[in-house]
Structure 1
Amino acid sequence: MFRRLFWFLTGAATGVWATTKVTRAVRRLSPDSLAATAADRALETGARMRAFAHDVRAGMAQREGELQDALGLTGGDPARRPQPLELEADTDLPAPRRGLTYNAYDRKDEN
């Protein structure tokens, strides 16, 4: 009698456990749940990308300050700072051709 009761309770507990697992899996794999999960992950990825971009900008600003200090471009007399080079306006360079691009696959090989 106790053996039958033990196996009955074991079967009932296993059934409840399996039903709970299947119900959770069905809920997790429903279209609404998948869409919500994708949206959450997209938001997390966006936040990580923003943090990365912020870190990159901060590093760039720090490095730019270091370079300006090393080259003597910050502080001091503005007249002693090196001035940027100016290009001559009278150059004989041809105007750029617009709309034409080179595509290696359009080239016809002569065999």
Structure 2
Amino acid sequence: MFRRTFWFTAGAAAGVWATTKVNRKLRQLTPESLAAQAANKAIDAGHKLKDFALDVRTGMVRREAELGEALGLEAPADPALPAPRRLAAIEYTERPRTGTTRHTPNPHNRNEDH
């Protein structure tokens, strides 16, 4: 009698454990849960990428300082010199408008009738 009770209890406990395990796994595989897991992994990847970029930047600054010391480029800039200017890659000059809406043909445009 004791053996039957033991095995009945063991079977019932195994069934409850298996049912709980399967239900937990099914909840993990719902679309909402999968989307949340993907979002968490994307956020973690973004943090890791940011940390990597900061490490690269720190190493770059440190290496630039080492090279500047080795080459003697750490001299302070002369305050009498003007600040460096950034040049525009493409200069755009607007033509003055003559007030007419007449179309003037472009001599280099091959799509127009001449």
Q: TM-score range by the shorter chain?
A: 0.5 to 0.7
User: Which structure dedicates a bigger proportion of its chain to helix?
Assistant: 1
> Using a 3 Å threshold, how does the CA distance of structure 1 residues 34 and 72 change in structure 2: closer, same or farther?
same
How is 1:22-61 mapped onto 2 (pairs within 5 angstroms)?
Answer: 22-61=22-61
Per-residue Cα deviation, 1:83-106 (whole angstroms, up to 9, x for no partner):
xxxxxxxxxxxxxxxxxxxxxxxx
Give 3-state SS (helix, strand or coil) of 1:64's partner: helix
In structure 1, the partner of 2:19 is 19
Higher relative contact order (CA 8 A, sep 6+): 1
Q: 1:64: which partner in 2?
A: 64
Q: Distance in 1 between matches of 2:63 and 2:47?
A: 24
CA distance in structure 1 between the aligned counterparts of 2:68 and 2:7, rounded to whole angstroms: 80
AA in 1 matched with 2:54: H
Residue 86 of structure 1: aligned partner: none
1:17 and 1:42 map into 2 onto residues whose CA distance is 33
> Matched residues in 2 for 1:3 and 1:72: separation?
88
Between the two proteins, what is the percent identity of the paired residues? 58
Alignment size in residue pairs: 78
Shift of 1:2: 1.1
Q: Map 1:70-85 to 2 at 5 A.
A: 70-75=70-75
- The one-letter amino acid of 1:49's match is L
Structure 1 unaligned spans of 5+: 79-111
The CA deviation string for residues 52-86 of structure 1, in whole angstroms up to 9 with x for no partner, is: 000000111111111111111113685xxxxxxxx
Taking the aligned partners of 1:9 and 1:27, their CA distance within structure 2 comes to 27
Structure 2 unmatched runs, 5+: 79-114
Report the TM-score when normalising by structure 1: 0.66
Distance 1:11 1:56, change over 3 A: same
- The CA RMSD over aligned residues, in Å, is 1.4
